[in-house]
Amino acid sequence: MEPPVRPASQNRINDQIRAPKVRLVDDDGGQIGIKQTEEALEYAYGKGLDLVEIAAQADPPVAKVMDYGKYRYEQEQKAKQARKHQSQIHVKEIKLRPKIQVHDYNTKKGHVERFLNQRAKVKVTIMFRGRETTHPERGRDLLLRLAEDVKEIGQIESQPLLDGRNMVMVLGPTKAAGEKKVEDEAPAPEAALQNEVAEALAAAAPEETPAEPEQPKEEAPKTEAKAAPKPKAEKSEAKAAAEPEAASEGT
């Protein structure tokens, strides 16, 4: 593949200038006056610049001292920016039949909406076959129905027109095409109010510090106080002392 070739310049530069005299303009825009071409070339070469013929139709032609490489680069950048910002209009085509089913109609309508949201024009064509051409009103009604269904993002630029066995209508995007509805993205008023209340409560509530886990207390060893057993001798003495008392009470 051959590399792209830069188009030839339309301005004559340096030795390409054929006029014997030129009206010389300095690189800062100052008017020097009419000079011989050879003298103007020496003046430009003395500054290390080029002599460029910028108005060949003038008498004598106007030549300016400049850096021609820089000048060409600036011109190419300006042309590139102009092409970048140039709006291109695309035309898409959708074909329908007069006896189209509901499911197919919805599918075609979805394609039309997608094209309109892409800021493209849509050419909708109704194709008639056989005796269907005797009832063109069916195609017109179908086209107008489609235009009504997409009226929020598309408008009729060309009314339905019968062309042989086809009927054609052109839809163009409106200003709302391709823009998301703010209502769908924004929360409902009640939901927004609830969110504001929740945020206000969260901001007003003090920050709760997490409670430290309670450490188990060390329990003291349980000591059960048990009565010390009495010696057996003491028990027998107490029993012997109680017997005489009971005997005296009986007498």
| Domain parsing of the chain, residue ranges | 14-67, 91-173
Equal fold, 14-67 vs 91-173: no
Q: What is the pLDDT of residue 27?
A: 79
> Greater confidence, 89 or 103?
103
Average confidence (pLDDT) over 54-62: 82
What average pLDDT does the segment 133-153 reach?
91
As a residue count, the chain comes to 251
Q: Is the pLDDT of residue 143 over 90?
A: yes
CA quadruple 124, 127, 131, 134: dihedral sign: positive
Kindly report the CA angle at 245 between 241 and 251, in degrees rounded to 5?
150
Cα 42 from Cα 44, distance rounded (Å): 5
- Top pLDDT among 64 and 208 is at 64
User: For the domain with range 14-67, which CATH number is right: 3.40.50.1980, 3.10.20.80, 3.40.50.261, 3.30.300.30?
Assistant: 3.10.20.80
Query: What is the C-alpha separation between 173 and 92, in angstroms, rounded?
Result: 12
Residue 91 scores a pLDDT above 50: yes
pLDDT bracket for residue 186 (50, 70, 90): very low
Q: How far apart are CA 45 and CA 14, in angstroms?
A: 9
pLDDT of residue 85 exceeding 80: no
Q: What are phi and psi of 136, to 5 degrees?
A: -70, -20
Q: How sure is the predictor about 232, in pLDDT bands with cuts at 50, 70 and 90? A: low
Give the model confidence (pLDDT) of 98-135 as tens digits: 999 999 999 999 999 999 998 899 999 999 998 888 88
- 3-state secondary structure (DSSP) of residue 172: strand
User: Which of the four pLDDT bands, split at 50, 70 and 90, describes residue 147?
Assistant: very high
CATH of 91-173, one of 3.40.50.970, 3.30.70.270, 3.30.110.10, 3.40.30.10: 3.30.110.10
Predicted confidence (pLDDT) at residue 247 exceeds the cutoff of 50 = no
* pLDDT computed for residue 44 by the predictor: 83
Mean pLDDT score, 192-213: 55
Question: Does residue 86 register a pLDDT over 50?
Answer: yes
Please, are residues 94 and 108 in contact by the beta-carbon 8 Å criterion?
A: yes
Averaged pLDDT of the chain? 75
124 against 90, higher pLDDT: 124
List all residues 6 or more positions away from 169 whose beta carbon is below 8 Å from its beta carbon.
123, 124, 143, 146, 147, 156, 158, 159, 160, 161
Cis peptide before 60 (omega within 30 of 0): yes
State the pLDDT confidence band at 40, using cuts at 50, 70 and 90: confident
- Quickly count helices (H) and strands (E) in the chain: 7, 8
Residue of higher predicted confidence among 232 and 43: 43
The alpha-carbon radius of gyration of the chain (Å, integer) is 52
